[in-house]
Structure 1
Amino acid sequence: MRIAVAKEIEVGERRVALIPDVVAKLVKQGLEVWVETGAGERSFFSDSAYEAAGAKIIGDPATLWGEADILLKVSPPQEREDGRSEIDFLKAGSVLISFLNPLGNPAIVEKLANRQVTALSMELIPRTTRAQSMDALSSQASLAGYKSVLIAAAALPKYFPMLTTAAGTIAPAKIFIMGAGVAGLQAIATARRLGAVVEAFDIRPAVKEEVQSLGAKFVEVQLEEETVAAGGYAKEISEASKQRTQEVVTEHVKNADVVITTAQVPGKKAPLLVTEEMVKQMKPGSVIVDLAAEQGGNCACTDPGKDIVWNGITIIGPINLPSSMPVHASQLYAKNLTSLMQLLISKEKALQVDFADDIVDAACVTYAGEIRNKRVSEELAALKVRG
């Protein structure tokens, strides 16, 4: 069984799928591990560290991809500078495990099916107790939530904590966090550690206790509809509920020094939480960090990938924030991948794809030339209709 780690070529991607410590454990289990030359450079893991762990360093990406039984990546396969697609390197019957954005880019899934590749998407790992160690969305979202607060603190022209000095008392910053999923909860914890007064909002009332346990005030909105989708994620709500939500949160946005938005719905454009009118009411010098920028943004003024000043408010729309912390992002992701691979490798070190396993069944998007995920098939059909 040969496991290969590809070098990421997506612009700005600094993570690597496996780190040397994890490679050493796989080699000890009797697995062969290939690592593309320079795969860990941007995560500060050298080729020599991988070699010391027992990996074979491969300079030619076509060889690495083409001879792998399981190919591990972080970002979805890309088009190379020479015009070739990374997908075309994969051999039929091989396994690709990566973030694939299958609902946002179903065309990639179709190419993988046509290539007869078994593809598992890390976005589709179910949110169950048994799958926690494989939940890469959560591991990476935690990093994003932490870093978002540091970015906000650096941009805010004020202290975060309350300070009593000979020159007078400094009031603590007021932070309003919208969305109390993994990223939001980590943002709450980080902002509290920095001494800020924190409020948090989420359409799911069940997260109230988690928010309060971290020392934040929970802003509650009573909605007359179900707000939780399968797997515990927030679901898209009606226009009437969106209007009701905006009415309640407007005052909290207005009074905040920092607003951090984290609300995303898998496969959908990010919900609009902060309107232009709400931004206009904020105090000059206030900061918004929009963690949903890559999906269109929770703030109407967000410019994805850019820091802008709009009406005196600094609005930051970071893209791929976990990649800015590549050492620990890679460490956590490597753990997620290896936990998942244990379900795909038999005791005899042979590949096994068992759809009776709920985790494998949920994550596997292509197998034997077919697209297995109904939602991905529907998105692909809609894409073709739109032309």
Structure 2
Amino acid sequence: MVPDVAAQLMKDGYAVYVEKGAGVYAGFSDQAYADKGCLLESRGNVIEKSQVLFALEAPVQDFSIMNCKVLVSWVGRLQDKGKDIIQKANQYRITVIDVTAVPRITIAQKLDVLSSQAKVAGHRAVLEAAHSYQRFHTAEMTAAGKYPPAQTFVLGCGVAGLAAIGSSKALGSVVRAWDVRDVSDQVHSMGAKWVKVDFKEAGEGQGGYAKESSDAFKKVQQETFKQVLKECDIAISTAAIPGRPSPLLITKDAVAVMKPGSVVVDLAAVGGGNCELTKLNETIVTPNGVTIIGYANLPARMPEQASAMYAQNMSNLLKHIHDKGKAAALLDSLYGALDKGEAGDIVSRSIVCCRGGNNVTMPPPPQPTPIKPKPVSAQAQAKAAENPMNTALISATVLTVTVCFMLALGEGVSTSLLSTFLLAGAAGYQAVWGVAHALHTPLMSVTNAISGMTAIGGLLLLDRASSYSAQLLALIAILVSAVNIIGGFVVSQRMLDLFKKPGDKDYSPFMLLPGLVFLFVSLTSPELLKAVSTVSALQPGSKPLP
């Protein structure tokens, strides 16, 4: 409990007793609590005067003076240690609330201490790795030489894994990531590369956690990781299954092929570790120079941040239970949810381990929302269904028709002009067709100049042509060029507007003034029409209009 959150609880009607010195190691002095209105007491007085007690670790040694009180603590009811705590609590009729048993549902996210502490652990894991790695994370080019970025591999993309990806990317590392569930979209959105294990198996388990993989999958998985780890400098493993040993992801053979100076940070050390060589709460260095960190208290290495997030989870927990009734309704709401059975609040029924000397059965965890299959666009389906023979046949047909049109022009067309026309058409088609959609906007701007020349050619042809077919072609050329010119300028202007600063004003319409003057002079002074036509015909092979 931190001072700011304690002040929030007091506004809801709670009286907050704090053991003297309780916040010292997290950076919170007794005076900070007193300034917020908390009552500082000895440990025994706090237990005696309180109805609801908060403790990180269940104080088993004090159970004898906690008769019929409510204890909110990090119990781990699914593990053997947690089961022993619950058994001892029943002897003194203590109601035990396990903060780690919050169900993985939307309304309970704000209460989830596992997620908040995992986020801290993921961030701290990157800092521990950076300290042990002792090289640059980002690429550096200096007078002393060029240094490549660190290569980081994150195994497990839960809350801790995603936090590790974000922190590693922030430091400039090149990140790869894997999870038994297909969360490649989340990984790519954070700028990391997805490592795919070539073996199909569903990875979603109960309660929103990953399930244990089959032996066949594990074998393929470990071989894949071995190849990736051979290229990486830092590995951060976060894969854990509640109540079960941590899955083995990094074998000793994989560690053996890692580069000297590499670092492995194992966040699953409590369950035995994801790395075969991990030792709980120790840092070891292998014969080939790989550092393996197995600290189980990574959140505690950022005590102030971890405490602030944990305390806010506790405040949200109380507010969820008492709802609008505030402090006076807390215990009635809690026990009322238990008495209602299936109709009661699922959060309250999930977190209460025992009451009045009897165990409380935990409801089955909610089924995770199945991951929707990635939709395949119609364009991708059509592309996949394309037949190379059909594509070649269509291209040959189009070329044949085009050649036939060229033959229809007759013998009066100069060979050089026909060659130029054919080359320009083919080159233009290939240039535009091969441009990615994202580059079409700047391409429109470039084609303004080309379309301007086409419009001039159409005007000249319209004046000199003697056949109706040639005049029709000239009109079509002028129309298409005009549309392209106007559209190109409109698109270009929209693109330039994206780079405008707030307050900038656009005075480009003033550039129409010279053109208007030029047009006015041409209309009012016929003797200058020849000069106007001369300017419009400034291109090779053209002559002024008569």
TM-score, L = length of structure 2: 0.62
- 1:256 and 2:232 equivalent? yes
Three-state SS of the structure 2 residue aligned to 1:289 is strand
Q: Please give the alpha-carbon distance, in whole angstroms, between the structure 1 residues aligned to 2:362 and 2:214.
A: 24
- 1:193 and 2:193 equivalent? no
Q: Given the alignment, which residue of 297, 321, 326 partners 2:303? A: 326
Q: Which amino acid aligns with 2:57?
A: S
Q: Please give the alpha-carbon distance, in whole angstroms, between the structure 1 residues aligned to 2:100 and 2:245.
A: 16
- 1:240 and 2:193 equivalent? no
Task: Report the CA distance between 1:66 and its aligned residue.
Answer: 3.3
- 1:314 and 2:291 equivalent? yes
Q: Please give the alpha-carbon distance, in whole angstroms, between the structure 2 residues aligned to 1:66 and 1:320.
A: 30
Worse-matched range after superposition: 102-111 or 132-141: 102-111
Q: Given the alignment, which residue of 348, 353, 360 partners 1:360? A: 348
- Give structure 2 stretches of 5+ with no counterpart: 339-343, 365-546
- Matched with 2:486 is none
CA offsets 1:37-68 (integer angstroms, 9 cap, x no match): 10111111111111111111111x23322332
- 1:96 and 2:79 equivalent? no
Three-state SS of the structure 2 residue aligned to 1:349 is helix
- Matched with 2:120 is 143
For the 8 Å contact 2:93–2:357, the answer to whether it is kept is yes
- Matched with 1:34 is 17
Task: Report the CA distance between 1:157 and its aligned residue.
Answer: 3.5
Question: Aligned in 2, Cα 1:51/1:243: closer, same or farther, shift over 3 Å?
Answer: same
Q: Please give the alpha-carbon distance, in whole angstroms, between the structure 2 residues aligned to 1:120 and 1:58.
A: 23
Residues 277-316 of structure 1 mapped to structure 2, 5 A cutoff: 277-311=253-287, 312-316=289-293
Q: Please give the alpha-carbon distance, in whole angstroms, between the structure 1 residues aligned to 2:241 and 2:327.
A: 40
Q: Please give the alpha-carbon distance, in whole angstroms, between the structure 1 residues aligned to 2:56 and 2:41.
A: 18
Task: Report the CA distance between 1:368 and its aligned residue.
Answer: 2.3
- Matched with 1:267 is 243
Residue identity (%): 39
Q: Please give the alpha-carbon distance, in whole angstroms, between the structure 1 residues aligned to 2:155 and 2:57.
A: 27
CA offsets 1:270-319 (integer angstroms, 9 cap, x no match): 11111111111111111111111122111111111111111211111112
Larger Rg: 2
Q: Please give the alpha-carbon distance, in whole angstroms, between the structure 2 residues aligned to 1:124 and 1:221.
A: 31
Q: Please give the alpha-carbon distance, in whole angstroms, between the structure 1 residues aligned to 2:141 and 2:313.
A: 44
For the 8 Å contact 2:133–2:261, the answer to whether it is kept is yes
For the 8 Å contact 2:269–2:294, the answer to whether it is kept is yes
Higher percent of residues as helix: 2
Q: Please give the alpha-carbon distance, in whole angstroms, between the structure 2 residues aligned to 1:253 and 1:116.
A: 51
Q: Please give the alpha-carbon distance, in whole angstroms, between the structure 2 residues aligned to 1:62 and 1:90.
A: 10
Supply the RMSD in Å over aligned alpha carbons: 1.7
Task: Report the CA distance between 1:374 and its aligned residue.
Answer: 5.3
Q: Which amino acid aligns with 1:103?
A: L
Q: Which amino acid aligns with 1:31?
A: Y
Q: Please give the alpha-carbon distance, in whole angstroms, between the structure 1 residues aligned to 2:196 and 2:63.
A: 46
Residues 99-110 of structure 1 mapped to structure 2, 5 A cutoff: 99-104=74-79, 105=81, 106-110=83-87
- Matched with 1:21 is 4
For the 8 Å contact 2:12–2:326, the answer to whether it is kept is no
For the 8 Å contact 2:118–2:159, the answer to whether it is kept is yes
Task: Report the CA distance between 1:114 and its aligned residue.
Answer: 2.6
Higher percent of residues as strand: 1
Question: Aligned in 2, Cα 1:343/1:319: closer, same or farther, shift over 3 Å?
Answer: same
Q: Please give the alpha-carbon distance, in whole angstroms, between the structure 1 residues aligned to 2:131 and 2:41.
A: 41
Task: Report the CA distance between 1:102 and its aligned residue.
Answer: 1.8
- Give structure 1 stretches of 5+ with no counterpart: 1-17, 79-84, 377-387
- Matched with 1:3 is none
- 1:372 and 2:351 equivalent? no
- Matched with 1:45 is 28
Q: Please give the alpha-carbon distance, in whole angstroms, between the structure 2 residues aligned to 1:113 and 1:242.
A: 41
- Matched with 1:202 is 179
Q: Please give the alpha-carbon distance, in whole angstroms, between the structure 1 residues aligned to 2:64 and 2:18.
A: 19
Three-state SS of the structure 2 residue aligned to 1:203 is coil
CA offsets 1:249-283 (integer angstroms, 9 cap, x no match): 11011111011111110011111111111111111
Q: Which amino acid aligns with 1:96?
A: L
Q: Please give the alpha-carbon distance, in whole angstroms, between the structure 2 residues aligned to 1:242 and 1:67.
A: 53
Task: Report the CA distance between 1:77 and its aligned residue.
Answer: 2.7
- Matched with 1:227 is 203
Q: Which amino acid aligns with 2:111?
A: M
- Matched with 2:55 is 73
CA offsets 1:112-137 (integer angstroms, 9 cap, x no match): 22321221111111111111110110
- 1:122 and 2:112 equivalent? no
- 1:152 and 2:129 equivalent? yes
Three-state SS of the structure 1 residue aligned to 2:71 is strand
For the 8 Å contact 1:343–1:360, the answer to whether it is kept is no
Task: Report the CA distance between 1:76 and its aligned residue.
Answer: 2.9
For the 8 Å contact 2:349–2:362, the answer to whether it is kept is no
Q: Given the alignment, which residue of 43, 53, 56 partners 2:39? A: 56
- 1:216 and 2:195 equivalent? no
Q: Please give the alpha-carbon distance, in whole angstroms, between the structure 2 residues aligned to 1:145 and 1:184.
A: 6
Worse-matched range after superposition: 35-44 or 101-110: 101-110
Q: Which amino acid aligns with 1:362?
A: S
Worse-matched range after superposition: 125-134 or 180-189: 125-134
Aligned residues: 350
Q: Please give the alpha-carbon distance, in whole angstroms, between the structure 1 residues aligned to 2:240 and 2:38.
A: 38
For the 8 Å contact 1:87–1:112, the answer to whether it is kept is yes
Q: Please give the alpha-carbon distance, in whole angstroms, between the structure 2 residues aligned to 1:255 and 1:375.
A: 45
Task: Report the CA distance between 1:348 and its aligned residue.
Answer: 6.3
For the 8 Å contact 2:299–2:306, the answer to whether it is kept is yes
Task: Report the CA distance between 1:335 and its aligned residue.
Answer: 0.7
Task: Report the CA distance between 1:203 and its aligned residue.
Answer: 0.5
CA offsets 1:56-100 (integer angstroms, 9 cap, x no match): 1111x233223321101122334xxxxxx12222121x2111111
- Matched with 2:376 is none
